[in-house]
A and B are shown apart, each in its own frame.
Chain A
């Protein structure tokens, strides 16, 4: 559950499988050290994502040149996506819509993408801000503008 989730989360930030694997291990070693020190870890899941998020930001800082998240394989909308709507027409429209959102996600600056994903993992704005080393209001502003941008992409 956690291991694969963290690994996938790291991959989704544009990291290579080898780096994602290394960082996943780092995250769990950090958890081990924290538990060993008696740190009060209230939610392992949130804690792991927070550490993973920080690991990604640290990794980016070490690897300065890349400015955009480049996923290894450009995701494409699958015809098998189950739609909540009934008719084939609507289902096709919905699939197309998800494909446009996916394209929008792919074009996001990596910090924005990480910001959005951390929100989707249930982290608070304050936690997200700490990971991204920005203010809470900046994190909120990033989320709003990112979601707005994806909405525009979806409606194009």
Chain B
């Protein structure tokens, strides 16, 4: 919940032109701000379209390069000879050989460059160098890596997916598996391969899996990426590994995806984000698990225990945070207001609010200003250029993207625009609750609320339940609006009751899953009804819309069941 990112900051984010701190902040922001996440998606799509235009239209229209470059070799020789002019002491036999070698390399670069294969070893070297620099930390810092793990047992009919959050300090690593069997299985395989103290997507992991597979890696280009594959040799297969592959972005040599194929299961690991935190920004429970023995080891053994200096009386920051979130929830401030809550140096919770209304400011001041261990800060908006309504931009009547069937059905542009605003508002309501839940799910993944007091657990459960109920109500509203459109446009799908809620799902997974479905449904609606980067025709959109709405309804049921 922070203020919106300006167009320049969005572009700088895409181009990795922000400081590590700003990237971390922006990444966190995208997880909770639907508007900015959408804007980022649009920007990426637009940049991809520009790149495709360059390649598919411009480059094809350019005259072909010449077959030979007869004037180049004499020029290179001339430059070499100029260096050999009398009076220059640097020209010696080894230097001459060196220059000749450079000429040969250059000519080879020019002549054979077009058919040179990608060197897998070089790519691996560059990737590990780049990612080592990217994930470099001091002893006062900790890296957090979030990945999506998709796994499939060899005999299983379908794959499973789970989110995995891992932390690494200079001393050790901690995988927050949340008790998910998929994550546990992957962690066990990493530990078996001596990777107990590394992140899932990290240079040591890459090198170690390549080494275990044993064969020479091969590389192939795929658009702006390079795919590296290593098929296992006999020794690798004896360890159960059949193939290892990963994807490198040539733009910055970053590895963001990796696949491991074992004889009994396959795993795909996709990076969601990696961020570096100062130690005092890391939740205390994570630090305790990351380096459990650290506090004891720093205490002189012969001294009697004494109260820590300058540390206020023990405050359970997690409890305090839940209490603040509960209060904010009661006043509806967790649905889009730019408010960020961060545990801070020792025993303090910082509540930062950006660009909020005077009324909300007064509410927050009354609620939090005089509470112990809470630091309330107000910031001006960073960028007001994007208003909340910008995301809803109905297709103007004159647009070439407009479909006549929509206009015929609505009978006029005003009616179409009214409908569009209404249905997108319903969709935005669903998303607002789901983003609020998602933020809680990220903060307290499954099994990570054990440090909370019973009262805090109750408050957290109440927030989750409230959102789940609101989501079901909003989804029903959204569904009825979408049904109106589907029926009006003559799309008749069999009326299906939603599938029963999946047994055993926790609210964190259920909310993440429902959020994905809501985003899909929202994307289809915007593609159909607004000026979108990815327009869809009516005939293409309707079946997808029907399906996504049904899936969203099922997701809302599952969420409510898990919240109870």
Q: Is B69's CB under 8 angstroms from A3's CB?
A: yes
Q: Is B401's CB under 8 angstroms from A101's CB?
A: no
Name the B residues within 8 Å of A72 (CB-CB). 63
Name the A residues within 8 Å of B79 (CB-CB). 29, 32-33, 36
| Any B CB within 8 A of the CB of A19 | no
B38 to nearest A CB, angstroms? 14
Q: Is A99's CB under 8 angstroms from B110's CB?
A: no
The closest CB in chain A to the CB of B72 belongs to A25
Q: Is B49's CB under 8 angstroms from A154's CB?
A: yes
Selected from B62, B98, B539, the residue in CB contact (under 8 A) with A11 is B62
Q: Is A4's CB under 8 angstroms from B534's CB?
A: no
Top 5 closest A-B pairs, CB basis? Answer: A75-B61, A1-B113, A89-B537, A4-B65, A101-B53
B315 to nearest A CB, angstroms? 43
Selected from A29, A81, A147, the residue in CB contact (under 8 A) with B47 is A147
Given A102-B58, A140-B8, CB of A1 within 8 Å of CB of B535: no
- Extra inter-chain contacts (16) besides given A78-B56, A90-B540, A98-B53, CB under 8 Å: A1-B114, A3-B65, A3-B111, A4-B113, A7-B65, A31-B106, A35-B102, A36-B102, A44-B109, A77-B57, A81-B52, A82-B56, A87-B539, A117-B54, A140-B17, A147-B11
| Any A CB within 8 A of the CB of B369 | no
Name the A residues within 8 Å of B98 (CB-CB). 36
| Any A CB within 8 A of the CB of B296 | no
B220 to nearest A CB, angstroms? 15
Bound Cα distance from A89 to B66, whole angstroms: 39
B440 to nearest A CB, angstroms? 34
| Any A CB within 8 A of the CB of B136 | no
A144 to nearest B CB, angstroms? 5
Main secondary structure of the interface of A (DSSP, over half): helix
Name the A residues within 8 Å of B65 (CB-CB). 3-4, 7-8
Among residues 161 to 213 in chain B, which have CB atoms less than 8 Å away from a CB atom of chain A?
A: none
The tally of CB-CB contacts under 8 A between chains A and B is 150
Name the B residues within 8 Å of A36 (CB-CB). 79-80, 83, 98-99, 102
Bound Cα distance from A141 to B106, whole angstroms: 36
Bound Cα distance from A7 to B114, whole angstroms: 13
Q: Is A120's CB under 8 angstroms from B54's CB?
A: yes
| Any B CB within 8 A of the CB of A28 | yes
Bound Cα distance from A12 to B58, whole angstroms: 7
A-B contact pairs, 13 of them (CB 8 A): A12-B59, A28-B76, A35-B102, A36-B99, A74-B61, A81-B52, A85-B534, A87-B539, A90-B536, A120-B50, A140-B8, A144-B7, A154-B46
A74 to nearest B CB, angstroms? 8
Task: Render A31-53 as a binary contact track against B, CB cut-off 8 A, 1 for contact.
Answer: 11101100000001000000000
Name the A residues within 8 Å of B50 (CB-CB). 101, 105, 116, 120, 147, 150
- A-side interface size class: 35 or more
The closest CB in chain A to the CB of B251 belongs to A122
Q: Is B15's CB under 8 angstroms from A151's CB?
A: no
Q: Is A2's CB under 8 angstroms from B110's CB?
A: yes
A12 to nearest B CB, angstroms? 6
The closest CB in chain B to the CB of A5 belongs to B113
Name the B residues within 8 Å of A33 (CB-CB). 79
| Any A CB within 8 A of the CB of B531 | yes
Name the A residues within 8 Å of B52 (CB-CB). 81, 98
Name the A residues within 8 Å of B11 (CB-CB). 140, 143-144, 147
Name the A residues within 8 Å of B66 (CB-CB). 7, 17, 21
Bound Cα distance from A116 to B539, whole angstroms: 36
Among residues 63 to 110 in chain A, which have CB atoms less than 8 Å away from a CB atom of chain B?
A: 71-78, 81-82, 85-87, 89-90, 93, 96-99, 101-102, 105
Bound Cα distance from A1 to B11, whole angstroms: 28
